[in-house]
Amino acid sequence: TEPLTPPRHIVLVGFMGTGKSTVGRLLAQRGGYTAVDVDAEIVKREGYTIPELFAQFGEDYFRAAETEALRAILGQAASLVVATGGGAVLRPENRALMTDGGLVVALTASAEQIIARVSQDTGRPLLQGNLEERVYKLMSERSGAYDFAPVRIDTTGLSAEEVAEAIWDAWL
């Protein structure tokens, strides 16, 4: 059979704490891609941290900045591994940008695993308050949100290295 046309970019989507940024870096190293983190790019472009953007300008402002950053990143000619924020899949416009930009890979994990991975973290405005409640509520609100990705990998119980290896072996 003919080899598949190589995708331009690899776009990692998934709920907070599924390991997108870490896996993205490992995958980029492995495959000679450049790793780009959309949240980090937003912070660079806007000059505010993610919590500051939410607190001072609101989520709608953040989402608009996210779409702009995604568009700029995915428009680059070099092949990138792009780690997106957990809510980047919510706008249909963003999903179209990602799908047109390359191979979209969704990382999933159990709620328990996600809670364990993000429990030490203070940089996620949407998880402030009762962490378990927030994760369960957001996960149910977003159920199905990552299903547009043609590739899905359950990362529960796997290290970031194992996830990167699985993606590499199966898809690259």
Alpha-carbon distances, residue 76 vs 17, 60, 62, 130 (angstroms): 26, 25, 22, 39
Can residue 172 be called a binding residue for ligand S3P (CB under 6 A)? no
Which one of 11, 25, 39, 139 is in contact with ligand S3P (CB under 6 A)? 39
Can residue 85 be called a binding residue for ligand S3P (CB under 6 A)? yes
Phi-psi region of 102 (alpha: psi -120 to 50; beta: other; left: phi over 0): left
Tokens representing residue 161 in the block: 């290295």
Size of the site for ligand S3P (CB under 6 A): 11
Binding characters for ligand S3P, 97-136, by CB under 6 A (x = yes): ---------------------------xxx----------
Can residue 87 be called a binding residue for ligand S3P (CB under 6 A)? yes
Alpha-carbon distances, residue 58 vs 38, 45, 61, 65, 130 (angstroms): 18, 16, 6, 11, 20
Asked whether 72 and 101 are in contact (CB, 8 A), the reply is: no
Can residue 50 be called a binding residue for ligand S3P (CB under 6 A)? yes
Which residues sit at the interface with ligand S3P, rule CB under 6 A?
16, 20-21, 39, 50, 85-87, 124-126
